[in-house]
Amino acid sequence: MSLKLKPFNPVAMLQDDEIADYLTEAYLDEDPQVFIIALGDVVKHKGVAEMARQTGLNRENLYKTFNGKVQPKWDTVHRLLKALGVKLTVAA
């Protein structure tokens, strides 16, 4: 008998109101890729097809973006954050 494991998505344990905090912590990491990975976790949790529909982005391109093959454009990140109801704040 073989044991099948599913990839762990930490967002599955978060409430919707905790997603912004999760993304903020990822954004504060020195490695910008951490934020992209976290955003990908959220997008996958919400459903890539649904996020594509809400943002007008191409579903296949979203999959490529979050599997590490493509660096996302700012427009993509911005649209996804807007669809998620997350606002970035710049402060000194």
Asked, for residue 1, whether it belongs to a domain, the answer is no
Percent of the chain with pLDDT over 90: 62
Asked, for residue 2, whether it belongs to a domain, the answer is no
Dump pLDDT digits (tens) for 42-55: 999 999 999 999 99
79 pLDDT higher than 80:
yes
Asked, for residue 8, whether it belongs to a domain, the answer is no
Asked, for residue 5, whether it belongs to a domain, the answer is no
Asked, for residue 89, whether it belongs to a domain, the answer is no
Stretch 59-73: mean pLDDT: 88
Reported confidence tier of residue 28, pLDDT bands at 50, 70, 90: very high
Asked, for residue 6, whether it belongs to a domain, the answer is no
Among the residues of the chain, which ranges form H helices? Answer: 19-27, 32-46, 48-55, 59-66, 74-84
CB 82 within 8 A of CB 88: no
Asked, for residue 77, whether it belongs to a domain, the answer is yes
Mean pLDDT of the chain: 89
Domain count of the chain? Answer: 1
Asked, for residue 90, whether it belongs to a domain, the answer is no
Whole-angstrom CA distances from 11 to 16, 48, 56 are 9, 14, 23
CA–CA dist 65, 10 (Å, integer): 19
Whole-angstrom CA distances from 78 to 7, 13, 24, 75 are 26, 24, 14, 5
Stretch 64-78: mean pLDDT: 89
pTM over 0.75: yes
The residue segments making up the domain with residue 69 are 15-84
